[in-house]
Amino acid sequence: MTEQKTDIAFVLYENMTALDLVGPYEVLSAVPSATGHFVAATREPVRADNGLTVQPTTTFAELTRPGIVVVPGGSGWRNALEARDLIGWLAAVHPTTSWTTSVCTGSTLLAKAGVLAGRTATTHWACRDVLAGLGVEVSTDRVVFDGDVVSAAGVSAGIDMALRLVARVWGEEAAQRITLGLEYDPQPPFDTGSPDKAPAEMVTALHAAVNAL
């Protein structure tokens, strides 16, 4: 029996963080029955916050029923909160998606679109208070499943989120195979990847820098 095809929308907006997008893309695009789409307000190239440019393959107006949505975070999230086309599209497509997901501060966009009403979600550690201020029950977990919504903490957590989603949708063997293919075997050279582990002064400085964006 042929496996049902799944259209996955990877949302683009100015000054998103590239790894928020590309991490989940590399995982989910490895599923043979999945088709990835880079969706934005227009087909004009979109610049990530560190300069990488991504070419949209479709627009919000054209892609109206994706099976899965992935919303990255980035330094442009505050401006994206005011992007009516983007927020309106998220609100419109969520009722018919199988899964709506976010990485990092992408969860603030889901909150603005009403997707996280009454739900628990996570975000980058430096923006937890912002997400809470949008009426969301905030978790410190790296990946949070709440019904058909999945959120990941900061940046690199998007890879974990995508692998867990693959396991949930296509089975653990598929997720294990993708993990091996990516050689995803984290061995960070510095144990400062969490605010619980990093020096307090570093945490304070980075928190201020992130919230000044």
Q: According to DSSP H, which parts of the chain are helical?
A: 18-28, 77-81, 84-93, 106-112, 128-133, 157-170, 172-181, 200-211
Q: Pick the catalytic residue: 19, 22, 104, 136?
A: 104
Name the token pair of 196.
């619980």
The yes-or-no answer on residue 104 being catalytic is: yes
Whole-angstrom distance between the N-terminal and C-terminal Cα of the chain?
A: 50
Closest Cα to residue 166, out of 80, 68, 57? Answer: 68
102 dihedral zone (left: phi>0; alpha: psi -120 to 50; beta): beta
Cα separation, 201 vs 181, whole angstroms: 38
Q: What 3-state DSSP class applies to 93?
A: helix
Structural contact between residues 16 and 50, judged by C-beta atoms closer than 8 angstroms = no
Closest Cα to residue 143, out of 133, 132, 155? Answer: 155
Cα separation, 152 vs 37, whole angstroms: 20
* Residues assigned a catalytic role: 104
